[in-house]
């Protein structure tokens, strides 16, 4: 009888250990993005990565850095007068026009929610006088304050330049740093915002499909999209449940579907294998 009890005890113990090992064991993920990383937002611990430290072009993920720099170093109530240079910025816009006056906070909202490149240039000119000077100041901030080591930006928006680069790890680090700022979090999680510009009156809607609910993932708390030809699809996503907060960065996916599928795989992995650790 004692022998049977002992055998049953050993079997149960073995099953318990096996189940716990399965719960924390790394799982090989099939990711289409060239580079990707999953990070514990609270501790900064890397939970999974694929080429996470490889130099990449970030496209509009750059705007996460621009936003937190402006939030920490500017006065949100400042009135910014839009220049001709801002009006003629290429790419995605909030359609600012020369002479228009906008608060710095509203420019940051237009930068993050609608990915306005013109808002980025307006912020740069207001903060530093020019895009080139802003880039120098931004790089110093990212190195000295955020602690990145493989990032070099030459503009505030992420339009392609050969010497404008970063890594998935650095973008995750910048995002986690930014998320400590209450105003940044509020803007980063915004799904819709009224925009009453001089020439453009509309409702801005986040481009991030998970955040706005077009692709359902209820734990998602914020996000930023990016794309230029040279970078492919880039995506930054934050999410949390009652046990853990996660940050996912995917870079150089060929399609939006690949970027979002990879993000979902990484979030699923993080919540399944690391929520209770």
Active site residues: 60, 63, 115
Cα–Cα dist 232/35, whole Å = 11
Contacts of 189 (CB under 8 A, 6+ apart): 211, 221, 222
Selection from 249, 174, 252, 257 nearest residue 215 by Cα: 257
Q: Is the dihedral of CA 214, 219, 221, 225 positive or negative?
A: negative
Q: Is the dihedral of CA 273, 44, 157, 94 positive or negative?
A: positive
Residue 125 burial by CB count (10 A; 0-12/13-18/19+): exposed, middle or buried?
buried
Specify the DSSP element, H or E, that contains 205: strand 201-205
Selection from 68, 63, 66, 69 nearest residue 92 by Cα: 63
């Amino acid at each position: 009888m004692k022998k049977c009890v002992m055998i049953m005890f050993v079997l149960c113990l073995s099953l318990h250990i096996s189940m716990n090992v399965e719960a924390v064991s790394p799982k090989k993920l099939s990711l289409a993005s060239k580079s990707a990383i999953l990070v514990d937002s609270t501790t900064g611990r890397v939970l999974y990565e694929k080429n996470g430290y490889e130099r990449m072009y970030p496209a509009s993920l750059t705007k996460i850095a621009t936003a937190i720099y402006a939030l920490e170093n500017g006065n949100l109530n400042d009135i910014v007068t839009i220049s001709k240079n801002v009006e003629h910025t290429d790419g995605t816009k909030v359609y600012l026009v020369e002479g228009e006056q906008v608060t710095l906070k509203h420019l940051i909202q237009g930068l993050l929610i609608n990915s306005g490149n013109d808002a980025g240039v307006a912020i740069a000119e207001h903060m530093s006088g020019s895009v080139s000077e802003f880039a120098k100041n931004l790089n110093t901030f990212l190195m000295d304050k955020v602690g990145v080591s493989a990032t070099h930006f030459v503009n505030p928006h992420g339009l392609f330049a050969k010497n404008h680069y970063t890594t998935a790890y650095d973008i995750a680090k910048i995002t986690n740093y930014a998320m400590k700022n209450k105003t940044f979090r509020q803007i980063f999680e915004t799904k819709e915002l009224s925009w009453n510009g001089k020439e453009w009156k509309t409702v801005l809607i986040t481009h991030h499909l998970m955040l706005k609910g077009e692709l359902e993932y209820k734990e998602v708390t914020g996000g930023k999209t990016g794309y230029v030809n040279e970078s492919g699809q880039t995506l930054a996503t934050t999410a949390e449940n009652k046990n853990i907060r996660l940050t996912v960065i995917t870079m150089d996916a060929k399609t939006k579907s690949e970027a979002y599928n990879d993000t979902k795989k990484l979030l699923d992995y993080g919540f399944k294998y690391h929520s209770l650790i």
